[in-house]
Chain A
Amino acid sequence: MNADEFWKGLWRENPIFVQVLGMCPALAVSNTARNALAMGLATLFVLVASNAVVALLRDFVPKQVRIATFILIIATFVTVVDYTIQAVSLELHRALGAFISLIVVNCLILGRAEAFASRNGIGRSILDGAGMGLGFTLALFCLGAVREILGSGSLFGVALFHAEFQPWVIMLLPSGGFFTLAAWLMLFSRWRAPDA
């Protein structure tokens, strides 16, 4: 039962490939595998932490102001992530740019807080956040890896091809993100439900 709360985010209700939530970071910073992974892990942390706090406070927050409270909780953890990334790698912080702060308005996080954490206990909420966050990270990595391999001929900055490699410029552009997402969605929905 509890294990299912974790696994559903990875597969059956994957945030990107099934719920199609959080498209803004998914398309904007998935141009390299490193950026995608960093954004995924940052979102994972915020999701787990905010789910835990929202679940803890769920009986004390008045219904009328719950959204504002959730946003405040989420923003707190996003600030933590923002400063942490800045301290660890300034280069990565520049590459992700405004999209770190924009994790606050990622509808995936608010969606989990509203739909799950505010109605469930802390243990289940943490599992849910971890599953959803890992599913998000996995999907972002899938996008980022394809875009970096085709767009730059490398993975995590390591060149995969010979020197004469012709980069697919479109893969580094926003339109390449849409094409890659479409291809993954097609594969994933076929894979997930072969008889659908």
Chain B
Amino acid sequence: MVGPTRILEIRTSPHLLSGHRVETIMFNVVLALLPTTAWAIWCFGLKALLVLVTALASCLLTERAACAFSDRPSSLGDGSVAITGLLYGLTLPPGLPLWMVAVGGVIGVAMGKALFGGLGANPFNPALVARAFLQAAFPVAMTSWLPPFGPDRFGSLPASTLAPPFSRAVVDGWSGATPLAASKFGGELSALADLATGAVAGSLGETSGLLILLGGAWLVARHMMNWRIPVGIFTVVAGASALLHFVAPESHAPPGFMLFSGGLMLGAVFMATDMVGSPVTGAGCLLYGALIGALVVVIRAWGGMPEGVMYAILLANAVSPHIDRWIRPRVFGQVAAEGDG
């Protein structure tokens, strides 16, 4: 009886494959993001939908153009740029002029991804590169927040959304402060229930912590996300802010507020866990998460800005290759050094 032909293939690692393809993982990340996206559109209405569509379109078109520019086959099909576009859209304030959204998408994908060689070669998360660029380029527009559940949010658009290209956004009289800004500059705390469900002002996707956690749990259950990264971030943020709140309760917010406010949930679950920018070992991921958590608390507590998740993740992205160099798994069969147990 002749068995199936087995060919011994000699090649470099990895030798064990999970069967997940890039497309499968990206499809599942989109699924996990859907509740957050739908909630963002429900909260902020038509302007949120337009911001998301513009962000997606600008990222997809830039990826296509970058592939043509460098004579490579189109990489639109692997879905990674769709995630970038969606995540990028979710980090933006709802009333941001659409031309600024498009500029950020082009910069993020062209400068943050294509320039480094495309998917897998980019040291930084392209969605955060796009947002960081906009934050530095248009600081006023990027910190003008509109409250959720505005009247007639599906029938009308704020004047700032449709500002013609290269003109400044008209500031509406009804812009509100985010919970973090109110806490930092006004000493007011929002109710935890409002923060968790997303009934507060903020970027599109950073408002509802519970839906983000739901999406994250789905990805963890499918082994498509390293749970150590968000766990590391949450532990350090909760621990450090509990300590600060215990020492100086009047100037530092309690841990629950720190966890559920601002972009921490979205950043910890969907941005920091980007497989390209995070370390490969388990211990490395814990360290990487802890580093992000520590940076977030430091920036929020003593920095000039109310929010620091974006910069914390970008900085940790830069450290990630070094973490991989410090923490190397012992090679199987390697002899322990003398006195090393």
Q: Which residues of A contact B (CB under 8 A)?
A: 153, 161-162, 164-166, 168-171, 173, 175-176, 179, 182-183, 186, 190
4 smallest A-B Cβ distances: which pairs?
Answer: A166-B168, A170-B136, A170-B137, A164-B167
A169:B168 contact, CB within 8 angstroms: no
CB-defined contacts of A165 to chain B, threshold 8 Å: 166-168
B168 touches A173 (CB 8 A): no
Contact flag A171-B137 (CB < 8 Å), given A162-B167, A164-B167, A164-B168: yes
Please tell me if the beta carbons of A169 and B111 are within 8 angstroms of each other in the complex: no
CB-contact partner of A166 in B70, B115, B169, under 8 A: B169
User: From A173, which residue of chain B is reached at the shortest CB distance?
Assistant: B136
B149 interface hit (Cβ, 8 Å): no
* Structural contact, A183 and B111, CB atoms closer than 8 A: yes
7 cross-chain CB contacts under 8 A: A166-B163, A169-B136, A169-B137, A169-B139, A173-B136, A179-B111, A190-B70
- B133 CB–A CB distance under 8 Å: yes
Give 1 or 0 for each of B165-193: 1 = CB within 8 Å of chain A CB: 01111000000000000000000000000
Q: Decide if the interface of chain A is mainly helix, strand, loop or mixed.
A: helix
- Which of B136, B137, B168 has its CB near the most chain A CB atoms (within 10 A)? B137
Contact of A179 among B69, B133, B168, B169 (CB under 8 A): B133
* Min CB–CB distance B94 → chain A (angstroms): 18
* Min C-beta distance of B100 to chain A, whole Å: 8
- Footprint of A on B, CB under 8 Å? 69-70, 100, 107, 110-111, 115, 133, 136-139, 141, 163, 166-169
Q: Are B69 and A190 in contact (CB under 8 A)?
A: yes
Given contacts A166-B167, A170-B136, A186-B110, 9 further A-B contacts (CB under 8 A): A153-B166, A165-B168, A166-B163, A166-B168, A166-B169, A168-B137, A170-B137, A171-B137, A179-B133
Q: Chain B residues with Cβ under 8 A from A153's Cβ?
A: 166
C-alpha gap A33/B100 in the complex (Å): 24
Q: Give the residues in chain B near A173, CB-CB below 8 Å.
A: 136
Report which of B100, B107, B110, B138 forms a contact with A169, defined as CB distance below 8 A: B138
* Residues on the B chain within 8 Å of A166, using CB: 100, 138, 141, 163, 166-169
Interface centre among A170, A171, A175, A176 (most CB of B within 10 A): A170
Look across to chain B and name the residue whose beta carbon is closest to the beta carbon of A166. B168
Complex CA–CA separation, A186 to B115 (angstroms): 8
Residues of A within 8 A of B163 (CB): 166
Q: Shortest distance in angstroms between B143's beta carbon and chain A's nearest beta carbon? A: 12
- Give B133's nearest chain A residue, CB to CB: A170
Q: Which residues of B contact A186 (CB under 8 A)?
A: 110, 115
| Cα distance A66–B70 in the bound complex, in angstroms | 44
Query: In the docked arrangement, what's the CA distance between A54 and B141, Å?
Result: 54
- Do A182 and B136 contact each other (CB < 8 Å), given the known contacts A166-B167, A166-B168? no
A161 to B165, CA, bound (A): 11
